[in-house]
């Protein structure tokens, strides 16, 4: 199905947030996730289902002031 990941269109086969992260190779790194503007904790990624057109945000540590 087609979803949006960090603002870019992305085709994913997986049906969950955890599955999509694995598909995109984000299994080892430290990331935080939100789906359609709502926070999805690490512990809920397996159970959070994806639907066509969903907006997934995958954030990483970054420099900040």
Beta bridge pairs of residue 9: 4
Regarding 9 and contact with other proteins (CB under 8 A), the answer is no
Q: Residues 33, 21: contact at Cβ < 8 Å? A: yes
Q: Residues 45, 21: contact at Cβ < 8 Å? A: yes
User: Binding residue for other proteins (CB under 8 A) from 2, 27, 42, 51?
Assistant: 42
Region binding other proteins by CB under 8 A among candidate stretches 12-20, 37-45, 47-55: 37-45
What is the contact surface with other proteins in residues (CB under 8 A)?
6-7, 26, 29-34, 37-39, 41-42, 57-65
């Amino acid at each position: 199905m087609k979803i949006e990941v960090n603002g870019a269109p992305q085709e994913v086969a997986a049906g969950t947030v955890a599955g999509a992260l694995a598909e995109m190779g984000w299994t080892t790194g430290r990331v935080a996730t939100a789906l359609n503007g709502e926070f999805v904790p690490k512990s809920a990624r397996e159970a959070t289902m994806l639907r066509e057109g969903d907006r997934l945000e995958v954030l990483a540590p970054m420099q900040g002031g």
